[in-house]
Amino acid sequence: MTDPAKTGAETLAGVKIFSDRLTVDAEGKLHIAGVAASELLERFGSPLVVGVEDTLLRNFDRIQEAFATAWPGPSAILYAIKSNNTLAFRHLLSRAGAGGDCFGLGELRATLDSGADPARIALNGSDKSPELILIAVMHGVTINIDDAEEIDMIADAAAQSGKRARVNLRLKILPEALGPYMGGSTQRHGQGIASAKRAKWGLSPASATEVATRLLQMPSIDLAGFSVHIGHLSNRPEAFAAIAAEFGAAVLEISTALGLRPRILDLGGGWAREREPEQRGAPVDRVTIETQATAAADALAFALGPLADPANGPLPELWLEPGRYISGNAQVLLATVGSVKEDCGYRWVNVDISTNDLMRIETGSFEYDILPASRMHDTPTASQEIVGSTCFRSVIGAGRNLPSLGRGDVLAVLDAGMYAEVFSTQFNSVPRPAAVLIGTGGEVEIMRVRETLVDVFASHRVPDRLRQHEKE
């Protein structure tokens, strides 16, 4: 992962992607959007999550443009807030025109409150409650139906709110062509296509046809289209093309059988980034979003046949639900070195973050790029184990070739914008870090307050009868 001969600055030059706002000054200090990492820690404390507005918005613009170009009809980007639920991010994206992909009340409320256009919000989930569906229908949010049981709940919600409910049907799409691409993030759930079959989501085309037949007879429900989401499994354009082709074929079959013309086709998320901690140390493989978008859009249009022929009417609006692509590199996690121990042929560098802050290391064997932010020009001198201090092993990076680090040095972990804070835990009763946002003008503002002991135990109650012995 880290070339033994490379300085931090050289490593950065090798892994940098278009929207990173990372530079190195003459003294070897890493700057994030123009502000020195060390200065950020002095002002806001360590550890610190640093969000970069320009990176977030540049990622959004690029994926929006990629699909606008690749798909001959209209398209919309629905940000998957599950990847990063920072409210400031969600507001920035709403101002830029992003819709939202939501699960559950917590995500739906945050998305609606941020001012996202409800007509571009999709409610997903394999197990939606009646209360949740009612709120979605009241606000004009589109429900991606995942099970026939939802139909009655939606009809009730429509009757109760007096609004017509807009829905898509989530299809279970299992192209055999995906097989070779499914060894990565899904390997814990079984190899290849067996894993997708076992997953809880979606309706088979046959079930979807039955459900659609019912829906078409219900005036209070507007069946707008179909959705699919396999999730991140590969950055190969062939994988996205395989999903889009199978999805398009299923949509065509159902639509032909029922004589309907979908207005929305939602291709879901998992769009690959150029630098991906989930690659687990594999070299940066720069498959651009344009390549993925073109592969998917072409395959979809081809499979849809008459449904994608402008001669037959307007093309469906293409919806995308990217999370990681937009948020992945929009946060950098800064940490400070504490105790360093050398023994048994190893050198352990303790830092004040832990895998609590990067839980995908524990759950998905993510490998993150780690830069020596206070010594970017120093030659690496030692293989070092970068460890958090919790009572787990908490290995942030094993055997990293870095300049010899000492107490007070600063490290920067890239790509901490996706599935990091949203999965963070308070294990060992450790309060979670603060987050700041660096604006396009270089202004720095707090967007998440550092937790304290009070936050860790905010929900706990000790019954009086157990307090008795303290007084004795």
Partner 1 sequence: MHEIEPNWLTRIGGRPDDMAVDEKGTMTLGRLPADWLVQEYGSPLYVTLEQVIRDNVRRLREAFDRHWPTGVDLFYAIKTNNCLAIRSVLTSEGVGGECFGDVEYRATRESGVSPDRIILNGSDKTEHALAAAVAGNSVINIDSLDEIEMLSRLATSEKPVRVNIRLRIAPSGLDGFDASFFKNGGTASESLLAAKWGFSESAAAEIVAKLLADPKFDLLGYSTHVGRFTSDPAAFGVVGRDLARLTRALRDRTGFWPRVLDLGGGWPRLREPESRLPDASIHDIDEHVAAITLALHEGLDGALPRLWAEPGRYLVGNAVVLLSNVTTIRSEPGRRWIHVDASTNLLMRIETSRSWYHILPASRMTAPITGNATIVGPTCIPSVLGADRPMPDLRRGDVVAIPDAGMYAEVLAPQFNGMPRPAGVMIAPDGSVDLVRRRETYEDIYRNHLMPSRLVASPLPT
88-127 binders of partner 1 (CB under 8 A): 88, 91-92, 94-95, 97, 103-107, 109-110, 115, 117, 124-127
| Shortest CB 260 distance to partner 1, Å | 24
Q: Which is nearer to partner 1, 109 or 261 (CB)?
A: 109
Q: Which is nearer to partner 1, 86 or 279 (CB)?
A: 86
Site for partner 1 in 131-170 (CB under 8 A): 147, 149
Compute CA distances 324 → 93, 149, 166, 419, whole Å: 14, 31, 27, 8
Structure-token pair, residue 278: 């989930």
Q: How many residues bind partner 1 (CB under 8 A)?
A: 94
- 30, 353, 418, 447: which one binds partner 1 (CB under 8 A): 447
Contact characters 72-91, partner 1, x per CB under 8 A: ---------xx--xxxx--x
Candidates 15-23, 154-162, 210-218, 456-464 — which segment interacts with partner 1 by CB under 8 A? 456-464
Contact by Cβ (8 Å): 232, 323? no
Q: Which is nearer to partner 1, 113 or 176 (CB)?
A: 113
Residue 56 near partner 1 by CB under 8 A: no
* Phi, psi (rounded to 5 degrees) for 219: -65, -20
Task: Please choose, from the candidates 231, 76, 218, 85, the residue with its C-alpha nearest in 3D space to the C-alpha of residue 159.
Answer: 218
Checking 289-292 for CB contacts under 8 A at 24+ apart, the result is 289/62, 289/63, 289/66, 289/325, 290/66, 290/69, 290/70, 291/237, 292/66, 292/235, 292/237, 292/240
Contact characters 370-409, partner 1, x per CB under 8 A: ---------------x-x-xxx-xxx--x--------x--
Residues 6+ apart with CB under 8 A from 148: 203, 207, 210, 211, 214
Contact characters 15-54, partner 1, x per CB under 8 A: ----------------------------------------
Residue 308 near partner 1 by CB under 8 A: no
Site for partner 1 in 177-216 (CB under 8 A): 188-189, 197-200, 204, 207
DSSP symbols for 37-102 = HHHHHHHH-SSEEEEEHHHHHHHHHHHHHHHHHHSSS-EEEEEEGGG---HHHHHHHHHTT-EEEE
| Shortest CB 12 distance to partner 1, Å | 26
Gap between the Cα atoms of 388 and 472, Å rounded: 40
Tokens 């948020």 correspond to: 327
Site for partner 1 in 330-359 (CB under 8 A): 338-341, 343-346, 348, 350, 352, 359
Q: Which is nearer to partner 1, 82 or 166 (CB)?
A: 82
